[in-house]
Amino acid sequence: MLASTFDLMLGGTETTSTTLQWAILLMMKYPHIQKKVQDEIEEVIGLERPPRWDDQKVLPYCLAVVHEIQRIGNIIQYLAHITPTDITFRGYTIPKGTPVVPLFTSILYDETKWESPREFNPNHFLDADGKFMKRDEFFAFSKGRRVCAGESLARMELFLFFTGMLQKFTFTPPPGVKKEDLNLTADAFFIMRPKSYYVIATPRI
């Protein structure tokens, strides 16, 4: 119980904060997307009332951007598992107890599944009418029975933190730093963190 609680607290805190670091960096890199997020927030809920989880239903572009941040950030590229029994997969026999390491990058950046897999494109999660669209190829929390135990909490936290930050602030690079110079190369730890950067957060109110 203690180990599981530790995993949930550490895993949830580290992954959420790292995803938000990617969010701020990407908003600086793509100010036109940041502006579109802010316009939707201002039009739908305004600048005074804090966002609520139910707002995901009326803020489809914000929700799409959050998902695209997770896809392009790809902060956990693999999660090792062990086969509980002998398994036959695509003609191969995998014995019980074999470590299996699924590489999420192979699906999150799959050129056969995404229109522009190497580009930051929130339209990956929007249909022709601008409504949010779930994608089976979205593996940010893994898949199956061993999916991330904190997925529901993480989805809620990321949406609320992201929309709350963009409601109150505009994020820009420091003077002398062009958006083209912002580095999207990750530092590899257990999770993929963005390299350290400076940001100016300008209040919108």
Domain residue limits at 70: 10-203
User: pLDDT tens, 129-141?
Assistant: 999 999 888 776 6
What is the model's pTM?
Answer: 0.85
**Is 16 among the domain residues?**
yes
Q: Percent of the chain having pLDDT more than 90?
A: 60
Concatenating the DSSP letter of every residue in 129-187 gives: TS-B---TT--TT--GGGS-TTHHHHHHHHHHHHHHHHHHEEEEPPTT--GGG---PEE
**Is 4 among the domain residues?**
no
Mean per-residue pLDDT, 17-22: 92
**Is 81 among the domain residues?**
yes
Helix (H) / strand (E) element for 26: namely: helix 2-29
Q: How many domains does the chain have?
A: 1
CATH number at residue 85: 1.10.630.10
Q: How far is C-alpha 148 from the geometric centre of its chain's CA atoms?
A: 14
**Is 29 among the domain residues?**
yes
**Is 5 among the domain residues?**
no
